[in-house]
Amino acid sequence: MHELREQDTDAQFRYWGGDMMQAEGGELVRHYQDLAIMGFLEAATSILKFRGYLKQCQQDLLAYKPDVLILVDYAGFNLRMAKIAKDHGIKVFYYISPKIWAWNQGRVEQVKARVDKMFVILPFETEFYQKFNYPVDYTGNPTADAVAEFQPTADFYERNRLEAGKPIIAVLPGSRKQEIEEMLHEMIAILPGFQEYQFVVAGVTNLDPNYYKHFHRNGIRFVFDQTFDLLSHATAALVTSGTATLETALFDVPQIVCYRTSSLSYAIGKMVIKVPYISLVNLIAGREVVKELIQGDFTARNLLDELRSLLTDTAYLARMKAGYAELREKLGQHQAAKKTAELMVSYLREK
């Protein structure tokens, strides 16, 4: 949004989004937190609420009649909105492809029919869409840009009352209550085995800070909305699968990728997911660079053993760091947001 306004100072925005979008101006219709659902079972039980949001969004879109509808990820909702827009003559751009390469690849036909321009942020997505004769624009990865531009805070330890000189194990449990409940208790259970380190949890302020109180243990520290600072000071990290795995790799921090969901959601996922890994690090690399502890493998015992290996096995650590270097080379540096905005505006101005 910021870069779009740089390209077109008259641009106006109306959106479903979050606090950072709201800071750019325009009108926030509904906060994305209302739509945060994780897992197949959870999505099924929320279907009526989902349909209500879809109807509200459709009515708002057709009343506003924008020059373009820009969709971001979130396939189940956004591909439906893409059809509505296309049926009513509204141009559709999609930034950050839905993960249809992981499951339900048949949705490519929906993308081809409903989306005028697709802008992707993972190098392998270009090849994926080429198999279906659908050209897309790879505009770089915004996470890589953000990490490259980040400047660590000099007084991070002091400001957060951390122990100076004591190395940090970063704990990134996710940003939604549902995933935090699944992940965080197990992640911090191994603290007694690493007394020479301090475990620092990356909290988020879109959740009530009081929510985190029942995770407090002796030796556990919490910082809020400071994930990049935390990673820039960390010796190793325990990371819930998601974009955070890529962020951690780009900060060159050794990590263990963790994931657990409901048994039913996991069973369904096993049947439909078509990729061999869940972390972006391994998917982009095309091989195992970081260890993934998934579902039944995600235990305190396995976490403890793997973390000890990360901290003591120099050969293992060197292999991971070499994989990180390959990852950075594949992603490159592109000023992704700026390039995407330039292309979007140029496409809109084409006759």
Q: What is the mean pLDDT of each run of 10 residues along the chain (351 residues)?
A: 95 94 94 68 67 93 97 90 97 93 84 96 93 95 93 94 94 89 90 94 87 82 95 97 94 96 68 77 94 93 96 96 95 89 95 65
Confidence (pLDDT) at 268: 66
pLDDT digits (tens, 9 = 90+) for 19-59: 999 999 999 999 987 776 555 555 556 677 888 999 999 99
Confidence (pLDDT) at 270: 64
Confidence (pLDDT) at 205: 86
Phi then psi for 94, rounded to 5 degrees? -130, 120
Confidence (pLDDT) at 315: 97
Which amino acid does the sequence have at 281? Answer: V
Confidence (pLDDT) at 269: 64
Spell out the domains of the chain, with CATH numbers in brackets.
2-140+334-349 (3.40.50), 148-331 (3.40.50.2000)
Cβ atoms of residues 343 and 120 within 8 Å: no
Confidence (pLDDT) at 209: 78
What is the pTM (predicted TM-score) of this model?
A: 0.82
Cβ atoms of residues 114 and 86 within 8 Å: yes
3-class secondary structure for 56-84?
A: HHHHHHHHHCCCEEEEECCHHHHHHHHHH
Long-range contact list for 342-346, CB < 8 A, 24+ apart? Answer: 342/3, 342/7, 343/117, 343/119, 343/137, 343/139, 344/4, 344/7, 344/68, 344/70, 344/93, 344/117, 344/119, 345/4, 345/7, 345/8
Confidence (pLDDT) at 39: 53
